[in-house]
Structure 1
Amino acid sequence: MTRWMDDVESIFKEDSRINQILPDYVYREEQVNLSLAIARALEKDEFLVAEAGTGIGKSFAYLIPAVLWAVQTGKKVVISTKTKALQQQIVEKDLPALRKILDLDFSYAEAKGRENFLCWNKYHQIIAGKKRLEKEELELIEKIMRWAEETTTGDRKEVMVEARLLKKWGIVSAERQTCFKENCPHQEKCFRMKMIKKVHKADIVVTNHAFLLADIMVENRVLPEYEYLIIDEAHSFEREAFDKLSVSLVFSDLEDLLYALYYKDAKWEKGYLTHLKRSFPLLQMLIGELEMLVDKGIQLTAKVKSWLDKNFVSEDDTGFSKVLGEKEKNRFLEEDFLHIYLEWYDTLQLICFKMEDLQREMEVDDEGWELTVFIRNLEQELDKIFTLLEEDIQKSDKIIWLQFYAGRVRAISSSSIATGEILYEKLYLKLKSLVMVSATLAVEGDFSYFISKSGLLLFNQEGRLNTLIEKSPFMYEEQAFMYILEDMPFPDNDRFNEELAEVVSGILDFLPGRILILFTSQAQMKKAARLLRPICDSKGVKLLVQNEDGEAASLVNEYITCPNAVLMGLDTFWEGIDLKGELLKCLIITKLPFRSPDEPFARAASLYFSLQGQNTFTSFMLPDAVIRFKQGVGRLIRSEQDRGIIIVLDSRLEKKAYGSIFKNNTPVKNIKKLSQEEFKRNVAAWLGFIL
């Protein structure tokens, strides 16, 4: 073991400074093993895929070797997390504590999207009275004026206002669409540029998956060059990459852009071109031609949307996605669409050309810069249209899907079926060392699914990739019990929701709240909520349903402050929610989390594995569901003091052959199948209630 590896190990000893700085610190061999494995990967330029069970303390396990490596070698280490909340915790809590523990002078910086920062140019336009504001927008400006003048970071996280006002943050936030870049009159005070400069100087850069992936696609224009990368919550990285590396044409974005240029209603002409016509009377003819083109572009966009709505009918009034098959993609090659499409595309392109002509005729710099923004944004929309409807629609390694809302097409999107291969080419090949860590990566102790799906197969074959499993230190045999209700109907049965309501009602008789119910379907959750709400009301229990009673973050806060509450949620609640101690006593999993085969991500993965001659269920659907199930189960026990029960209402866990794979992959070993009649007494007894 090298000297610096000795240094890593010594930091975790109970008689070291870590015990003095972190009041709740407990020495865990699993944490030390993980940290040493990460140190070894950094030192030997290797890749490491590590599963670290809940409670190990993986953040400090990777932060300690990362900091020591950066300081001793002068090499920058980038750390990527799934959520901004964890990113913020590392920057504001963990790294400052680590400075004291290590007694080292190292620098760190947070890298995140421009929308988090105040745009000084937009703010001054508002202060100068150049933008008309709604009531709440004006209230926000009044509340942040003093902060805006004093802040050194311009970071939204510093703004302390009510949530209703923070929703209006977009009026002052930095945006790619409105950025003047090097032509901005306030460039020297640009908070985003300050963030970028700080990031380039830092030893440790902390970012999030979304930002990291966006930066990859623009060839690292924001993040500095780096060769050492640690990805936390790695189980979600490839899924997030699928979304971030996709191309989407959102019709409302294109329409908003055209309306911002010019719009004519029954009484008024509005938009930027109308303003220019007043400012440049000698250019009225050219501007008038441009207005006519923009109006034509708006009409043709409506015509394209109308064609889509006519040819791809949806009776579903909620938001969903439809992946197009070969026959459906061929409709875009038929004469009726091609005629509309070519006129639409040519008109939008002509608008760009005319704006460039207008820009050359204008002599006022400020107005020219603003026109540059419009040109750049419309060119980006044209690039999306061309990519989607002339390139990707004809490629066998791409999928195309329509996004519906309220029965109408709101967007067209495409993505590669081999996201892992893109990550391999654009990210992994540039690295000397990569660490990917999460509590849920392996299936029955095997990392094959994760390695294959994430694009790491070649590194594994070359012997450059190592794997590690460190189990949770929690005493699950004493802390948790899982009950499987074997006589529940399958989740697609009409009786399922009624029997679900009866089960929950029975639990509420002795446990009035502190219950989390996980769903995989918005429609099923709505049906269950309609049945459960009157039951909860009658028992004095507050029912909190995602998207009905609020968004995820606000519902969690309300749940925490309300002792008698039942929380119902979808994907967001299967991972990343941390309810320690008495906050959660009963976790109900309504259905095994198999993805819908019609979901774009699932269709892409299925096509990818089928083209390789593999069974899509065993190669993708099953291991993906097992990892998601393990994430859901992990919501219950979050500390050594927690104690609770898991109730699985999906009888397939007991009746199907693959059920054993799910059970083998949960840390909970107290598992009992019983009937609905038996479960109430068993559950109450285990929790210590007397019926």
Structure 2
Amino acid sequence: MHKDMVFFHIETGFLEGGQEKIREFAALRIHDGQVQKSCFFQEHPKIEINNDDYDELSQNDRTCAISLSGKRGEILDVLKEAVLISHQGTFNLQILEKTINSYLVNDYWDTYELARIFFPMMQDYQLSYLAEYLSLGNDEEEDLQLAERKAYLTWRVFEACKDKGRQYDLSFFDQAQVFLEGWSGKGFFDDLRREIRTQFPERRIQTDLVLAPAPEGLFAQVQTSHRQIPDSIEWVIKSFSQGGILEQSLPGYECRFGQMKMAKLIAEGLTSAHHVVVEAGTGTGKSFAYLLPSLWFARKTGNKVVIATHTIPLQEQLQKKDIPMLEKVLPFSFRTSVLKGKGNYCCLKNWLSCLNNPSEIRVRDQKLAVLSILIWLRETHTGDIQELSKVPGLMALWPNLNADHEMCNPSKCSKAGVCFLLRARKKAEEADVLIVNHSLLFSDLKTDYNVLPEHHQLVIDEAHQIYQTALQNLGSELSLEMVLRTTESIYRKTGPSFYSSLKVRLGSLSERVPAVAWDTFAKHLETIPELCLKVSEQAKELFQLFERILGPNRTFRFVPQHTNLSWWELLLIQIENLTGRIKSLSVVFQNLTSALNGEEADEAEELRYLFATHLRELQQIQETLALAVNVNDPKQVTWLEQSARLYLKSSPIEVNEILREKIFKRLDTVILTSATLSIADSFNHFLQDIGLPLSTKTAVVDSPFDFDEQMKFYILKNYSHSLPSSDQEKVERLSETILEIVKRMQGRTLVLFTAHKLLQETYTLLQPRLTNINIDTLAQGIHGERTSLLETFKRNSRSVLLGANSFWEGIDIPGETLSCVILVKLPFWPPSLPLIEARSEFLKSQGRDPFQELLLPEAVIRFKQGFGRLIRSKEDRGFVVLLDDRVLAKYYGRYFLNSLPIKTHLRGDDNLLYEKIQEWQLGIN
């Protein structure tokens, strides 16, 4: 790099009035890889200095309290004519300019953005994580102040990015160049490109797709051992016993009776072809308990076993941790694979289209996401988006890159030899045990079993989610963006589309397939642009009406009474108009298909496939629109929902009959397991919900943990009744309670909310106060997506994590990092949610109690999940605090308490709570 560089870091704090101010400033000026100058200044965050009281300060206080503005000259001297580089420092740069009263015209590069580009598969880009992941730490710097250490780490992250960039040939920089315009980091790429051209003039320039070498040929034959597979089910049970192969071969493995019991039940279910439901408490080791019998059964019989999970972390655990351990242990080899929906895989044809049409990507974050993908494709073997860090811009870009696209026909694709989706499907066909998620399982049902390979044995983990997932996946949803994406894939004024691609090909098609009446074909084709524009215009009008109907609400359910309202007639007309225009467009595809009748050439077959795909998409839009006005079906609910965008959604109210017919009657064995399936030792609610008879084989396998010894469960008594009347005062009281608990726990706390609004309001009050006592506050919806939040929380024990719905389950943070879980409220679903409201009305119409049969059971299951976040190993210790005393005051409280794996609990006011936490901190039982 030809310029001097200054790596700087700023630590900020809050004054009592809430104003953010610099506490520490550190800078390193680097010339030719060596520190040329450095400076460090520290300012006390709570002391305002003036001439009258300066003389009264001690010498140490004077040093700490020196105002940075007084060091303006020294700071500007260090920064002079250098490239400024920091980590996530754009905002801090503004604070620095304000503090020293100087506008800095230097080039600025952000190592946070560079790291996101050059290390695209990391889950977090905080300096501490980068230092650990890239082994950048230096023990000699441990005695430095925080800002100084971070300035050095920023320098090392920068060098790591530069070293990685040096590996690439100039084609990478050629492809990247057009996406760099307008970004402050462009100079980094320009300098690196010049360096490579100078130092590596003979490096080969690759002109085609640059991908990671496949670990094996796409269709390579996977070899499996011909060693004798154990015949007896007794072998499975003995594997889990004392002295069995697991205990002999896995360091630290302990025989657990519950795990052995569960494995026996599953092996019996597989071999005897009956369904089994097992609730396995935390620490049972349920993954091994179903993996080992499944692998043994699949290899012994040649029957594929499908394992379906709800969450990605569990899939990752099975694929990257549990299965590799069993590969080393079991006396036979086996093949496993993970298959996901088409939308998870990168389509290389779409990717090339993106590179060839860069003008369509105008948003800065999306341009940086393209740069991340450029490097990721040089490293990935799967093309699975879950490998990619969810950097800003990626999710907006991904719909145009993934394989869930009407033009995607892997078997006919020119990139079939390197197609990620085709590779995944091939491995799925060859696998003995195939891992999928719940959504893909239901996609298989919706397509009459055309998604997954043939199988007759199924294991469903996290089975408490199966009912909700069925409702979501067996329903439908539509947004304006979805309609426009469909029409624009058919025709758009600029950029690639079905219409433009086919029009270019007409000449060659007429030569290759002369029997087709291409003149007639072309006339039908020419009607597409106008029809697509009409569909788009009408869809925009309809969704504008939806916005007016929804108003300021988050949801709006369509019910029979609405047919008497003034807007209903307008809604019918709008939907009829849009449906009519979609039908006109569908007729064009039918006419195009008819023009190819009788022609068997490959080109004609490929076109028919594309036409059928477009017709299917248009048909799905029509079906969803029809549901919006069909308000008299008591088993169907349709509503508007505003989230990131406005959706029209529809769902069946009950799915038990569908699950019974399409899963349980069709398959020989279905194993359903979770840590939370029963309510007060009864499985009846779960079995009825999913369509299994009450006579189904069920079992509860208790956790091996001693919850009464390892934790304290504290219910804050009379807390709900003592809350102030105003919402603002309630938030202030809640924030105060959380603050007092977190101070005593020194961070290490997860707070679970049932509403995002309350979470955000609480965060606003908590964050500055916790910052001043050196505790970080992380909040869902504010600090990134779930995975990165959890990684950040795990690495810093002095932090508190605020989470809502998705954080009540699937979180595994063993050790002291998480020592307290605060449950703000009992997790009842709001009865006004459209689906909950409709299901409640349906139950009432049958003379049933929706609270007892729906709201209460759902809340108890979620409560058990939230409670279970604390104790994840035998070494874990801590507190679960419930701030909702309805569990004591209401009759239904016993259902919550009787469903927990704990025999005793504490109850009292907040002073007693703080005293108990203090005792726990001092090791007093």
What TM-score, normalized by structure 1, do the two folds share? 0.89
Task: Find the partner of 1:657 among 873, 877, 891.
Answer: 891
| TM-superposed deviation, 1:237 | 1.0
SS in 2 for 1:481: strand
AA aligned opposite 1:213: F
Map 1:258-273; keep pairs closer than 5 Å: 258-262=487-491, 273=499
Instruction: Indicate yes or no: 2:326 matched with 1:89.
Output: no
> 1:87-117: CA deviations, max 9, x gaps?
2321232223223222112222212112232
| TM-superposed deviation, 1:518 | 0.2
| TM-superposed deviation, 1:543 | 1.0
Aligned equivalent of 1:442: 678
Whole-Å Cα distance in 2 between the matches of residues 400 and 328 of structure 1? 12
Whole-Å Cα distance in 1 between the matches of residues 732 and 347 of structure 2? 52
Instruction: Indicate yes or no: 2:716 matched with 1:488.
Output: no
Whole-Å Cα distance in 2 between the matches of residues 30 and 405 of structure 1? 42
Contact 2:546 2:640 in 1 (8 A): no
Contact 1:510 1:689 in 2 (8 A): no
| TM-superposed deviation, 1:152 | 5.4
> 1:448-468: CA deviations, max 9, x gaps?
1101111113xx3xx4x1110
Structure 1 residues 477, 373: CA separation in 2 closer, same or farther (over 3 Å shift)?
same
| TM-superposed deviation, 1:611 | 3.7
Identity of aligned residues (%): 30
SS in 1 for 2:346: coil
AA aligned opposite 1:423: L
| TM-superposed deviation, 1:513 | 0.5
Map 1:338-357; keep pairs closer than 5 Å: 338-355=572-589, 357=591
| TM-superposed deviation, 1:433 | 1.2
Whole-Å Cα distance in 2 between the matches of residues 468 and 47 of structure 1? 12
Shifted more, 574-583 versus 74-83: the winner is: 74-83
| TM-superposed deviation, 1:531 | 2.0
| TM-superposed deviation, 1:602 | 1.9
| TM-superposed deviation, 1:596 | 0.9
> 1:119-165: CA deviations, max 9, x gaps?
23223445666985556666666665687478654444566x78357
Contact 1:247 1:415 in 2 (8 A): yes
Whole-Å Cα distance in 1 between the matches of residues 535 and 857 of structure 2? 47
Aligned equivalent of 1:119: 347
AA aligned opposite 1:425: E
Whole-Å Cα distance in 2 between the matches of residues 493 and 619 of structure 1? 32
Whole-Å Cα distance in 2 between the matches of residues 181 and 91 of structure 1? 25
> 1:209-262: CA deviations, max 9, x gaps?
111111111111121222111111111111111111111122211023334545
Aligned equivalent of 1:308: 546
Structure 1 residues 546, 19: CA separation in 2 closer, same or farther (over 3 Å shift)?
same
Structure 1 residues 91, 550: CA separation in 2 closer, same or farther (over 3 Å shift)?
closer
Whole-Å Cα distance in 2 between the matches of residues 637 and 151 of structure 1? 35
Aligned equivalent of 1:583: 817
What TM-score, normalized by structure 2, do the two folds share? 0.67
Whole-Å Cα distance in 1 between the matches of residues 488 and 534 of structure 2? 12
Instruction: Indicate yes or no: 2:402 matched with 1:173.
Output: yes
Aligned equivalent of 1:48: 276
Aligned equivalent of 1:215: 444
Whole-Å Cα distance in 2 between the matches of residues 155 and 503 of structure 1? 43
Aligned equivalent of 2:617: 380
AA aligned opposite 1:454: I
AA aligned opposite 1:384: I
> 1:426-445: CA deviations, max 9, x gaps?
11111111111111000110
| TM-superposed deviation, 1:200 | 2.0
| TM-superposed deviation, 1:532 | 1.5
Shifted more, 294-303 versus 655-664: the winner is: 294-303
| TM-superposed deviation, 1:673 | 1.0
Shifted more, 679-688 versus 272-281: the winner is: 272-281
Whole-Å Cα distance in 1 between the matches of residues 579 and 758 of structure 2? 41
Task: Find the partner of 1:594 among 828, 831, 846.
Answer: 828
AA aligned opposite 1:537: T
Whole-Å Cα distance in 2 between the matches of residues 260 and 521 of structure 1? 37
> 1:647-682: CA deviations, max 9, x gaps?
110111111111122111111333111012322112
Aligned equivalent of 1:501: 735
Task: Find the partner of 1:245 among 454, 474, 484.
Answer: 474
Structure 1 residues 405, 129: CA separation in 2 closer, same or farther (over 3 Å shift)?
closer
Shifted more, 175-184 versus 534-543: the winner is: 175-184
Contact 2:589 2:615 in 1 (8 A): no
Task: Find the partner of 2:771 among 524, 531, 537.
Answer: 537
Aligned equivalent of 2:52: none
| TM-superposed deviation, 1:52 | 0.6
Map 1:121-520; keep pairs closer than 5 Å: 121-126=349-354, 133=361, 148=377, 153-156=382-385, 163-164=391-392, 167=395, 168-262=397-491, 273=499, 289-310=527-548, 312-316=549-553, 320-328=554-562, 334-355=568-589, 357=591, 373=610, 376-377=613-614, 379-389=616-626, 392-405=630-643, 410-457=646-693, 460=694, 463=695, 465-489=696-720, 494=726, 495-520=729-754
| TM-superposed deviation, 1:60 | 0.5
Shifted more, 475-484 versus 674-683: the winner is: 674-683
Shifted more, 107-116 versus 649-658: the winner is: 107-116
Structure 1 residues 148, 259: CA separation in 2 closer, same or farther (over 3 Å shift)?
closer
Whole-Å Cα distance in 1 between the matches of residues 905 and 814 of structure 2? 22
Contact 2:823 2:882 in 1 (8 A): yes
| TM-superposed deviation, 1:275 | 7.4
Structure 1 residues 492, 16: CA separation in 2 closer, same or farther (over 3 Å shift)?
farther
SS in 2 for 1:443: coil
Structure 1 residues 678, 156: CA separation in 2 closer, same or farther (over 3 Å shift)?
closer
Structure 1 residues 193, 669: CA separation in 2 closer, same or farther (over 3 Å shift)?
same
Shifted more, 424-433 versus 623-632: the winner is: 424-433
Structure 1 residues 329, 372: CA separation in 2 closer, same or farther (over 3 Å shift)?
farther
AA aligned opposite 1:7: W
Structure 1 residues 543, 67: CA separation in 2 closer, same or farther (over 3 Å shift)?
same
Aligned equivalent of 1:683: 917
AA aligned opposite 1:602: I
Contact 1:118 1:174 in 2 (8 A): yes
Structure 1 residues 256, 203: CA separation in 2 closer, same or farther (over 3 Å shift)?
closer
Contact 1:262 1:269 in 2 (8 A): no
Q: Larger Cα Rg: Structure 1 or Structure 2?
A: 2
Instruction: Indicate yes or no: 2:332 matched with 1:104.
Output: yes
Gaps of at least 5 residues in structure 1 are: none
Aligned equivalent of 1:32: 260
Shifted more, 274-283 versus 607-616: the winner is: 274-283
Aligned equivalent of 2:298: 70
Task: Find the partner of 1:667 among 901, 904, 907.
Answer: 901
Contact 2:827 2:862 in 1 (8 A): yes
Task: Find the partner of 2:856 among 613, 622, 629.
Answer: 622
Aligned equivalent of 2:803: 569
Structure 1 residues 169, 142: CA separation in 2 closer, same or farther (over 3 Å shift)?
same
Whole-Å Cα distance in 1 between the matches of residues 306 and 810 of structure 2? 21
AA aligned opposite 1:350: S
Contact 1:580 1:638 in 2 (8 A): yes
AA aligned opposite 2:854: F
Whole-Å Cα distance in 1 between the matches of residues 432 and 495 of structure 2? 53
| TM-superposed deviation, 1:202 | 1.9
SS in 2 for 1:582: coil
| TM-superposed deviation, 1:189 | 4.0
Whole-Å Cα distance in 2 between the matches of residues 274 and 217 of structure 1? 32
Aligned equivalent of 1:521: 755
Larger RCO: 1 or 2 (CA < 8 Å, sep 6+) = 1
